[in-house]
Amino acid sequence: MIGLLVKNATLADGRKVDIACAGGKIAEVSPVITAEARETIDATGCLVSPPFIDAHFHMDATLSLGLPRYNQSGTLLEGIRLWGELKPLLTHEAVIERAMRYCDLAVSQGLLAIRTHVDVCDDRLLCVEALLEVRKRVKPYIDLQLVAFPQDGFYRDPSARTNLLRALDLGVDVVGGIPHGERTMADGARSMTELCAIAAERGLLVDIHCDETDDPWSRHVEALVYETQRLGLKGRVVGSHLTSMHSMDNYYASKLIGLMAEAELHATPNPLINITLQGRHDTYPKRRGMTRVPELRAAGITVSFGHDCVMDPWYPLGQGDMLEAASMGIHVALMTSPEQMRWAFDAVTVNPAKALHLEGYGIEKGCNADFVVLQAKNPVEALRLKANRLKVIRRGKVIAETPERVAALHLDGRPATVNGADYAPRA
Ligand code: FE2
């Protein structure tokens, strides 16, 4: 028996289909399904997409904006200092409560898979234990991956190494790092060697905050791709941020991108954050400070846009809307051709699914029955409108709904209602 039948869906590739769900899986996708179902949704005129995915987030810090004070300079370094002031004041319960509230927001936005870094530079491992609890609580509706992140430096913080290993022993999923945060370039490169070795030995994935600076000589990604190759980790490693690539010499960048492609490194730029954190030491012109997205993409590298932060020491805004992150990516990377904008939708859906090694993702027979019905006709319109999530479905059940967004106008002689999705260019 079909539990849920979605009629007249428009998929991201333009196909018009019906989607039948049974037992939490997609049982059939075809132009017309006539079988009986317990529940039917009419998705006429709506894009139906697999759920949004955030490939890079910091759930231990989210919704802590203003605690214990605001970031006045707007720099990454003040954000890290501020987080260091907040850490001793955190409680297990408060971290869980903020993370759970963020997860509610995420579900309302159709964001059903999140890779979050969790700071391990704390002998109490308070954030690790809190987010392990959150991962368990949200499991029915969000796939939460945890990355052991040595925020204060794997070598620079004397207990980071021990605490990172403790966090992995407790069940944290992925190995993280921050080579540009170490005291020397040599230590940064050495941390890539050791962290990748830990991942290889334990059979884990890797996700490194790599070269998140405007310094063109911050080239730790070179060491990361070398270790990826040496240890047989191809396709299992993500370089997050990679902002120094923006400022690098073009010749070196072209060599580097080839090496990254060869190692099948995935890239996760975070446009909302990097457009505000980078370039802060510049007068004018101010660099955009996001990595070279079109060039990475042209080399065949899987690029995902992450959100990174929402209302925390590094970023005061955000609402868990991956369409907002992708829209900023389009702007910062100057990717406004129809084909590039269409790709940006993949950068918050199918691309991060690949980088995070998610199983059963997509709208095909046999995949998990997880998807979002959007108040938009196609991916580019969804990006333009930051489209309303009419229904969010997980394992064949509706877990969130938002009413259609329509404005009522009170103007003489003009239409009575306005819906952004009705707008299209006219001759
Ligand atoms: Fe980050």
Q: How far is the CA of 242 from the centre of ligand 1 (A)?
A: 11
The pLDDT of 153-168, averaged and rounded, is 98
d(CA 37, CA 130): 40
pLDDT in tens, 45-85: 999 999 999 999 999 999 999 999 999 999 999 999 999 99
Global confidence as pTM:
0.98
Q: Is 401 one of the catalytic residues?
A: no
Q: In the predicted model, what is the mean pLDDT of the chain?
A: 97
Sequence-distant (≥ 6) Cβ neighbours of residue 89 within 8 angstroms: 67, 68
- Using the predicted structure, report yes or no on whether residue 1 has a pLDDT greater than 90: no
pLDDT in tens, 304-326: 999 999 999 999 999 999 999 99
Q: How far is the CA of 420 from the centre of ligand 1 (A)?
A: 33
How many Cβ atoms sit within 10 Å of the Cβ of residue 360? 15
Q: How far is the CA of 39 from the centre of ligand 1 (A)?
A: 40
Percent pLDDT > 70 in the chain is 100
Q: How far is the CA of 265 from the centre of ligand 1 (A)?
A: 17
The pLDDT of 397-417, averaged and rounded, is 93
d(CA 159, CA 296): 35
pLDDT at site 252: 98
Catalytic residue among 212, 227, 324, 381: 212
| Residue list, CB under 5 A from ion ligand 1 | 308
d(CA 223, CA 165): 21
pLDDT in tens, 269-294: 999 999 999 999 999 999 999 999 99
d(CA 419, CA 55): 31
